[in-house]
Structure 1
C-alpha cells in the first residue's frame, strides 16, 4: 500500500490505554465490544501495511483460540512476497507492478506456502536499524530486475542475485530455529504453535461491476497475484463485519484513507456531509452524508476510492444515538489521540472499503451456505 509513515512508540501501554479511554469519553463513544489484539507496531518507512494488518488478524485469531500472545514476523512474509513479485515481474517481462504494496490474501497465501516465524527470530532489520525502511532496497531490486530483462535470454539463476539484495537489507531468515525450547521450521511453527489454517479465512468485497455471490479478481494495482474476493451486497458486507466483531472475531480492512473524511490528527474517519469541515475538527458528532451501493460504486469507478491502506478492525463503539464506529488498529506506531488506533464510522467503512478478510467461523451458517463455503 502507499502509506508508510515513521511513527515511534510514543507512550507506555498504560498511558495509551488511559488516552484511549479519555478520548472516547470526550467524543461520547461507548465501547460495545473490544476484542483481543496484540500491541500496535510500526511499519516504518515501508508500504507493508498489508503484512502488518493481516498478521495482526492472525495473531488475534490465535488469542481468541486461547493461544498465548504471539509476536509474528511481518517481514518474513514480506520477504517471501517480494520474491513472488519478482517472479511475476520477470514472467510478465516487466509489464507488471513491482513495488512494496500487497493485499491481505498475499499474507494468508504466504503463511500457507512458506510458514511463519516469530519476530524474535527474524525482524527483517539489521543490527543498528531502528525502523523498517525499504525505499533503497526496492529501488535496487527493481533496477536489478530491469537490467536482467534488458538482456535475453536471462540467466537461470537470477533469483540468487535477487535474494542477495534482500539479504543485504533485511538479513537472511533461518531455515529452522528454537522457540520455547523446541526446534521448528517456519512450516512446523505455523502448524504446531500458531495453529494456522488458510482455509479459516474468507475474502470479501462489494462492487456492482461483477455479479454478487461470485468471486472475482479485484482490480486494484497492488493485486499483483490476482487474488479473488467473494462479492456481496454492501448491506451484507457491513452486516458480516458487525456480527463478526460482536461475536468476538476481528476483521482485516483494506480501504481508502486519502479522502476528506480520514483525519490522522483527530483519530476519526467519517463520511462528512459538509466537506468543508477541517480534518482536525472531525469527530463522533460530525454529521455524515447518506451512502449507498450506487455511490460507493461511482466513487470506485471515478478512482476517488482507491486501494490505499490496510488496517485491522478489533471492536465496535457506539454513540448515545446508536451510531456505529469501528475500533481500528493501525500500523503507524502508538501515535495519535487513541494510541495507534482509529475510530472509523460505519458510513466511512461502507463508502471506502476495498476488501475485507473475516474468519470463516464468524459467518452465520446461512451465510456459509449462500457463499458455498
Structure 2
C-alpha cells in the first residue's frame, strides 16, 4: 500500500470529490518524500465562491450546491491556490451542508438588487468568515512564506492530472464531457476501454502513483462497515457492454469519490484495489476499503491519474 495522510471524515457534507482528490495529491507527495496535508475547507469555500458568481451572471438560474467531481477540485486549486490542513480546517464538515443554501440566498438577493459581482463576493467572504473561519493572508511552510496561489502551484500543477472514463456511447481514445449531474462544468475526460483503464490503474499503483476514483457505492456489495466492495459471487465477469448497459439504465449511479492507494489479493488470488475513504475510521480497516477488480470494472464512473502514467 502507498503512504497516506490520516483518514478524514466528511460528516454529512457532499465534499467527497475534494477529500478524494486532495488525498490523491497528498499520497503522491508522500511517495516522493514530501509530506503535505491539505485543506478541504479552503477548496470547498473557493469552489462555492465561484459557483455563486456563475449563478449571479446567469440571473440566478444556475443551481448552487457543493456536489462535484475531482476535476472541479483541480480547477479550484488552479484558480485559487491552496492552504494546508493545519492552516485552515473545520472540526465538523457538516457545516458545509447548510452553507450552500446561505450562499444561494445571498446570490438571490444580489440578483434582485443588481448588486454586481464585487459586492456579492464581499458578502460571500464575510459569510464564509463567520461560518467557516477567516482566511490567512499567506501559507507558511518549512520556514517559507507562500501566497495561496504559489502554494497551490507548488503542490499541484494545472496539467498534472488527467481525467479518464470508459463508455461506448463516445469513441475511445478521445475526450468528451461525461453526462453525469455532478460534472457541473462539463469537464472532458479521456475515454479508454475498460481493460486499458484497469491496466493503467494497476501500472500507476505499482509505480507509486495513487489515483482518484469516482463511481457507484449504492450496490448491495458495497459495505463500508466490512470495508469491502465486490460483485456477488458467481456473477458473470463484467464486460464493456455490461457496464455500458448498467450506466444507460441508471443502475450505475454517480455517488462517491475515494483515493486508490494500493493493490491486494485475497487467499484465492482475487485482486482488489485498496481505497482510502472519507467516512471516518469506524470500519474493519480504519477507514480503508477493498474493492474487487470486478466491482471496479462494473461500477467505475471516472478516474484521475498522473498524466505521466498515460504514456508509461
TM-score range, shorter chain: over 0.9
SS of structure 2 residue aligned to 1:72:
coil
**Matching of residue 169 in structure 1 with residue 142 in structure 2:** no
Q: How large is the Cα RMSD of the aligned pairs?
A: 1.8
Q: Does 1:120 align with 2:74?
A: no
Counterpart among 280, 302, 305 of residue 252 in structure 2: 305
8 Å CA contact retained: 2:45, 2:128: yes
Give structure 2 stretches of 5+ with no counterpart.
none
Q: Aligned to 1:47, which of 8, 14, 24?
A: 14
Deviation readout 1:104-133 (Å, 9 max, x if unpaired):
11112222221111111111x3xxx55542
Alignment of 1:1-373 (within 5 A): 34-67=1-34, 69-123=35-89, 125=90, 129-149=91-111, 151=112, 153-156=114-117, 157-192=119-154, 194=155, 196-272=156-232, 286-365=233-312
Query: Aligned with 1:199: secondary structure?
Result: coil
Larger Rg: 1
Q: CA deviation at 1:254?
A: 0.4
Q: How far is the alpha carbon of 1:166 from its aligned partner?
A: 1.7
Residue 241 (structure 1) shift: 0.8
Q: 1:177 to 1:37 in 2, by over 3 A?
A: closer
Contact 1:97 1:222 in 2 (8 A): no
SS at 2:95 equivalent: coil
Q: TM-score, normalised by structure 2?
A: 0.93
- Runs of 5+ consecutive residues of structure 1 not aligned to the other structure: 1-33, 273-285, 366-373
Classify the secondary structure of the residue corresponding to 2:305: strand
Equivalent pairs, count? 311
In structure 2, distance between residues paired with 1:319 and 1:301: 32
Residue 87 (structure 1) shift: 2.0
